[in-house]
């Protein structure tokens, strides 16, 4: 991939998309095609057609979509299905028609069966039912993955690469306690509890489920690797993980320590836990030559620092 290549990053202001922008620019790729949501509605097929006709991107990173935690998945399942299906259908269809050289689509570890052998290999997809609390999102991402595979099969090329990152974190994450994922939501809750002197924080579930986390910059690094390398013989799809997981209880304790929250942590076992464990088997891409680089504790501390400098400081100025 030439450094002058035109690269469209859909969702460039989000967690993974912004990491992709940083990675590309730091490695000499400056011909980036970017559009905010108010500039391009990806669920509008005609708008997507016009955008591709105007900008003619050679490569596409599809990091746009409707995402959220357990609460939002429960309240807005129709939105998760409609928005993600429409974005994937529109972008992949136009990318195929306009001859995009390669496209990376991000699926989700939520697609795996709730009860799944650990670590979860790509061959386990569709071998059982996903976790009910994220079913709508999981089905929409499964559809996007299958779209990639179907285009590759029908047109005899390996241009559409579906990647399955585990729980991502880092700068530009969603830190809302209702709509954010567990790691970023916990950062905000513990920081707020520290500032207000709240003696205890009550968290959903038992704290026993285990989760794997991967820094968004590692996902961006893997994505650039997949855009550059000859992937014609690489088996798809591809898990993107670190191979290390933590219980939610361990995660909460680590975040409380980093935030310097000294109160107690309580668990509301009447609330859902979600899937008992989600650890990916990432041997396919690791055997192909890619490895994650960012230490979890360092990434966690830097993410909290980013939150304080960019979210908290902005709130204090208002």
Q: What is the pTM of this model?
A: 0.95
> Is the distance from CB of 59 to CB of 5 less than 8 angstroms?
yes
Predicted confidence (pLDDT) per residue in 24-83, tens digit: 999 999 999 999 999 999 999 999 999 999 999 999 999 999 988 777 888 899 999 999
Sign of the four-CA dihedral 38, 42, 48, 54? positive
Do 151 and 159 form a contact (C-beta atoms < 8 A)?
A: yes
In this structure, what CATH number is given to the domain that contains residue 94? 3.40.50.720
d(CA 164, CA 237): 7
C-alpha of 234 from chain center: 22
Report yes or no on 303 lying in a domain.
no
More reliable by pLDDT, 246 or 313:
246
Domain annotation covers residue 1: no
Q: Which domain holds residue 157?
A: 7-173+212-244+278-295
The sign of the CA dihedral 205, 207, 208, 213 is positive
Q: Is residue 253 part of a domain?
A: no
**DSSP 8-state symbol, 208:** -
Q: Verify whether residue 137 is a known catalytic residue.
A: yes
Burial of 213 (0-12, 13-18, 19+ CB in 10 A): buried
For residue 122, tell me if it sits in a domain: yes
Q: Name the catalytic one among 137, 151, 304, 307.
A: 137
Residue 179: pLDDT band with limits 50, 70, 90: confident
Looking at the 3D structure of the chain, how many domains does it have? 1
Spatial separation of the C-alpha atoms in residues 13 and 93, rounded to whole Å: 23
Residue 34 lies in a domain: yes
Share of the chain above pLDDT 70, in %: 99
Q: What is the pLDDT of residues 244-273, one digit of tens each?
A: 999 999 999 999 999 999 999 999 999 988
The answer to the question of residue 254 being in a domain is no
* 179, part of any domain: no
């Amino acid at each position: 991939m030439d450094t002058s290549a035109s690269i469209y990053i859909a969702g460039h202001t989000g967690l993974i998309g912004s990491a992709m922008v940083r990675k590309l620019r730091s490695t000499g790729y400056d011909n980036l095609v970017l559009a905010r949501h108010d500039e391009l509605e990806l669920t509008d097929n005609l708008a997507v057609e016009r955008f591709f006709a105007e900008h003619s991107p050679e490569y596409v990173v599809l990091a746009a979509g409707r995402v959220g935690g357990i609460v939002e998945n429960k309240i807005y399942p129709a939105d998760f299905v409609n928005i993600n299906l429409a974005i994937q259908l529109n972008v992949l269809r136009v990318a195929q028609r306009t001859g995009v050289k390669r496209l990376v689509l991000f699926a989700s570890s939520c697609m795996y069966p709730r009860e799944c052998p650990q670590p979860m290999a790509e061959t386990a997809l569709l071998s059982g039912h996903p976790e009910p609390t994220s079913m709508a999102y999981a089905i929409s991402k499964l559809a996007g993955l299958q779209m990639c595979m179907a285009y590759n099969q029908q047109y005899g090329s390996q241009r559409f690469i579906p990647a399955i990152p585990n729980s991502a974190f880092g700068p530009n994450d969603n830190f809302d306690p209702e709509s954010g994922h567990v790691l970023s939501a916990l950062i905000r809750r513990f920081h707020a509890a520290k500032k207000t002197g709240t003696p205890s924080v009550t968290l959903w579930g038992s704290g026993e489920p285990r989760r794997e986390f991967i820094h968004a910059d590692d996902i961006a690094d893997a994505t650039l690797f997949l855009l550059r390398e000859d992937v014609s013989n690489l088996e798809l799809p591809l898990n993107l993980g670190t191979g290390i997981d933590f219980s939610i209880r361990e995660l909460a304790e680590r975040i409380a320590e980093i935030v310097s929250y000294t109160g107690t942590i309580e668990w509301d076992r009447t609330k859902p836990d979600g899937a008992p464990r989600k650890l990916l088997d990432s041997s396919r891409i690791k055997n192909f030559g890619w490895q994650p680089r960012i230490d979890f504790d360092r990434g966690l501390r830097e993410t909290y620092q980013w939150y304080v400098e960019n979210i908290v400081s902005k709130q204090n100025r208002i």
